[in-house]
Amino acid sequence: MTKQEKIVSMFNDIAPTYDRANRVLSMGVDTFWRRKACDLAFGYCPSEKIDSIVDVACGTGDMMGYWRRQAEKNGVHVSNIEGVDPSEGMVGVGREKFPQMSFYIAPATELPKPDTTADIISISYGIRNVVERQAGLREFNRVLKPGGLVVILEFMKNENPSMLGKVRDWYMNNVLPRIGGLISNNYEAYRYLPDSIEGFLTVAKMKQELEEAGFEMLYSKSFSMDISTLMIARKK
């Protein structure tokens, strides 16, 4: 089994308890991060009419729901919101939550979309799990229309953490795996989260990879003790 297949299998295992664990572990703060991402992205769109938003590594569809709700609040008409994820377990939960939305089972490196058809591609806490990340970013560029946006929410590696950052790291390493393991009955899956962050990119490196994949950075900011980082880039 490849590394990517192991990650997908892990998400299949925790899919039934994934939403509950997320709310508990983030203490609900992730809802602010998601709303902020949607609102800012709509601000960068040249039109209040959007044909297509594709949420990659959509999991159980949370971000798709936020795209729909925040579009309504911002007076933006979105014709189509679709989710793509390689985990059948996660997509199964998503289809139950959002039966009116379209979900596809596919990896980030092989999106089931024609060239230059999406206005926005988002990926929330998922780019870290794409083993062939550069190939995934190039695939996002392929699917986006000229001037389209990629919106990334992620837990980034912090090379020089502040005192609050050290508190974050302590929570991630000592509290999160235990609570997540209790809720999901899968300690290994929630041990993976801090380990994957430690082995991931800094914000500066992520910006570099986006630029190399043909994107222009528009916005980058970390929230809540640098726990979560939002990045928005435009296809050149």
Query: Which residue positions form the known binding site?
Result: 60, 85, 124
Helix (H) or strand (E) holding 165: helix 163-170
C-alpha triplet 217, 157, 21: angle, nearest 5°: 105
CA distance 168 to 229: 13
Residue 27: C-alpha distances to residues 3, 119, 164 (Å) = 30, 31, 17
CA distance 156 to 228: 7
Which residues contribute to the annotated binding site for S-adenosyl-L-methionine? 60, 85, 124
- In the numeric block, which tokens belong to residue 201? 């990119």
CB atoms within 10 A of CB 229: 20
CB atoms within 10 A of CB 106: 15
CA distance 25 to 17: 12
CA distance 55 to 49: 18
Handedness of CA 135, 52, 128, 233 (dihedral sign): positive
